[in-house]
Structure 1
Amino acid sequence: MSVRVAGIGTALPEKVVTNNDLAQHMETSDAWIRERSGIGERRVGGSTVDMAVEAATAAIAAADLTPDDIGFLVLCTTTPEKTFPASSAMVAAGLGITCGAMDLNVVCAGFPYGYVAAYGMMTTPGGPDRVLVIGSDAMSTIVDWTDRSTAILFGDGAGAVVLEKSPQGELLGQDFGVNGDLESILYCDLGDTIVMEGREVFKRAVRAVTGSVENALAQAGISAEDIDVVLPHQANIRIIEAVTQRLGIPMEKTFNVLEHTGNTSGASIPMAMAAADEAGVLEPGALVLMSGFGAGMAWGSVVVRW
């Protein structure tokens, strides 16, 4: 028994903040931000739950299903709306379903973790036939908009996929890890805003993701040149370029949306997946790599046959 992606959906809030908007109240420019990150604008003003419901509704419709067909819900988020209950409970309520639901917080690395958690649940005896995996983050709520090092990077958004049991689709390899000693280079205390040592995060992220992808590829028994589609965490185009260069994967195989979304944390990989789907490259049998990294420092990579 295998598992496939049956439907994909995304959601973005309406309000757009451009680089030029940011330049009105901090020392920066559109050219400066684009050169260092590849980001041109980001969306703000979103609610974690509302965006998750919108993206999930679109994914369920794309799979030609109804909410009642969902057997479990995984919400990958670092911006829950309450200490408790879990925001996944409110998302379930918004969808009108009462299946099991849980939050999962691995920050920007969350979606690969959620994907594999759902896959594992589905392949256990009595597991659900379909699991909804959502990445939704309202990063604007934890950004200090006077801090140039973080304000230029983050945005709000959501992406969702419906996973279902199917003869098509196969999980070939995975790699996950965390180095808690690196907490200080990227963190956000309760009730506070993001603190980041940008240069250190850049260096550590490139190393961690490169090693993680190599491990996942080795487990899958394939090489980097075999990969057809790369869905990287949308943090910074320079990190994506550095990682693909080290791995020997052409940038043309990556799908990126960060120019118009910024870093949407757990939402970024499913949003990149939606872009790849729209481009028509996610064909049955395609070898697809998903890889993310985030605060912790945590990382995760997954190789699947579509």
Structure 2
Amino acid sequence: MMIRSRIAGCGSYLPERAVSNVELAERVETSDDWIVQRTGIRSRHLAADGELTSDLAVHAARAALEHAGVDAGSIDCLILATTTPDNTFPSTATKVQAALGMTRGFAMDVQAVCAGFIYALSVADNFIRNGQARRALVIGAETFSRILDWEDRTTCVLFGDGAGAVVLEAVENEGTSADAGVLSTHLHSDGRFYDLLYVNGGPSSTGTVGHVRMHGQEIFRHAVTKLSEVVDEALTANGLTPADIDWLVPHQANRRIIDGIGRKLKLAADKVVLTVDRHGNTSAASIPLALAEAVADGRIRRGDLVLMEAIGGGLTWGAALIRW
């Protein structure tokens, strides 16, 4: 027998305000057609004034805890993936910990931009596998609207705000690919491509927050190659093939990238969970937001094999295979 981490519950939260492409076209030189054709995005949610990343994270975390039927007092570790923390320090995770009433265990942030949720899931999964935690809360939360240059039409139309969360708990099973739980996670980074997607500011460099800067075509090229490779890596590690996959829950950055990975895996379009049209790119929040939606509406069921993958600034990328 071996210990694995199983997802016991999911939760999500989107700010109330939804902003359409048409509304954005009144602000920058763009159009609904231009945005949809290149990205698949039709609208996104933006946090209200005074609504912080920690606020979004707390909403999603409470929903996940309720779905799992557990309380915050039973959580051993809280891992929050975010690129938009409330403060430079301390970690936003500790703020969420306090708001949830979690007074034991530990909490920390993970920063891997759009790949952040995969990284955070891997960290929590390893704590559970090693016996350092029995139950973990993993959150992806972002207020990306706070770091956008609203005069740069190539970036400001892409991103949105939101949060998603999962509760992981330790289970014992035989450890085969048919048993429930996180089968494996696979993480990568390559700092040589640091300047392809970054924020031009920070406490150490400029003392300012800065704005998102992106070389979109280069990111697209790397995304297709690196995500294909890490998906193959995950399947090979578990002795599985694309035909075994029931659901693809990808990072929701660009419809063309998502469609490309789906075609490579020969997955039917209705086996790919898509929220990019309504959420935009919510960075570390995008995968748990999409996952929570597919679980809530009954698409993902116990026994299904779920593949998650993401790529973000750094460059960072990764994949996770989960037997639901």
TM-score by length of 1: 0.97
1:204 counterpart SS class: helix
Per the alignment, residue 130 of structure 2 pairs with: 124
1:271 paired to 2:289: yes
Q: Deviations over 1:82-123 (max 9, x none)?
A: 111111010111111122000000000011111111111012
- Within the candidate set 174, 177, 183, 2:188 is matched to 177
1:9 paired to 2:11: yes
Consecutive unaligned residues in structure 1, runs of 5 or more? none
1:252 counterpart SS class: helix
CA RMSD of aligned residues (A): 1.2
Within 5 Å, which residues of 2 pair with 1:11-90? 11-45=13-47, 46-90=51-95
In the TM superposition, residue 246 of structure 1 has moved relative to its aligned partner by 2.4
Q: Which amino acid aligns with 2:95?
A: M
1:146 paired to 2:157: no
1:141 counterpart SS class: helix
- Within the candidate set 219, 241, 253, 2:237 is matched to 219
Q: Deviations over 1:168-218 (max 9, x none)?
A: 623323322111111111111321000001111111111110111011111
In the TM superposition, residue 244 of structure 1 has moved relative to its aligned partner by 1.7
Within 5 Å, which residues of 2 pair with 1:87-166? 87-98=92-103, 99-125=105-131, 127-166=132-171
1:234 and 1:20 mapped to 2: Cα distance? Answer: 20
1:241 and 1:291 mapped to 2: Cα distance? Answer: 13
Contact 1:23–1:29 (CA under 8 A) maintained in structure 2: yes
Q: Which amino acid aligns with 1:206?
A: V
2:41 and 2:298 mapped to 1: Cα distance? Answer: 24
1:156 and 1:44 mapped to 2: Cα distance? Answer: 5
- Within the candidate set 261, 281, 288, 1:243 is matched to 261
Contact 2:6–2:182 (CA under 8 A) maintained in structure 1: no
1:248 and 1:283 mapped to 2: Cα distance? Answer: 21
Contact 2:40–2:277 (CA under 8 A) maintained in structure 1: yes
TM-score by length of 2: 0.91
Q: Deviations over 1:48-67 (max 9, x none)?
A: 10000010011001111111
Contact 2:7–2:181 (CA under 8 A) maintained in structure 1: no
Q: How many residue pairs align between the two structures?
A: 305
1:136 and 1:153 mapped to 2: Cα distance? Answer: 16
1:80 counterpart SS class: coil
Q: Deviations over 1:131-183 (max 9, x none)?
A: 00000010000000111111110000000000011246233233221111111
Larger CA deviation: 212-221 vs 248-257: 248-257
1:25 counterpart SS class: coil
Q: Deviations over 1:262-295 (max 9, x none)?
A: 1000000001101210232322221110101100
Q: Deviations over 1:3-42 (max 9, x none)?
A: 2111111111112211001111222111111111111111
Per the alignment, residue 297 of structure 1 pairs with: 315
Contact 2:10–2:65 (CA under 8 A) maintained in structure 1: yes
1:75 and 1:66 mapped to 2: Cα distance? Answer: 17
Q: Which amino acid aligns with 1:241?
A: D
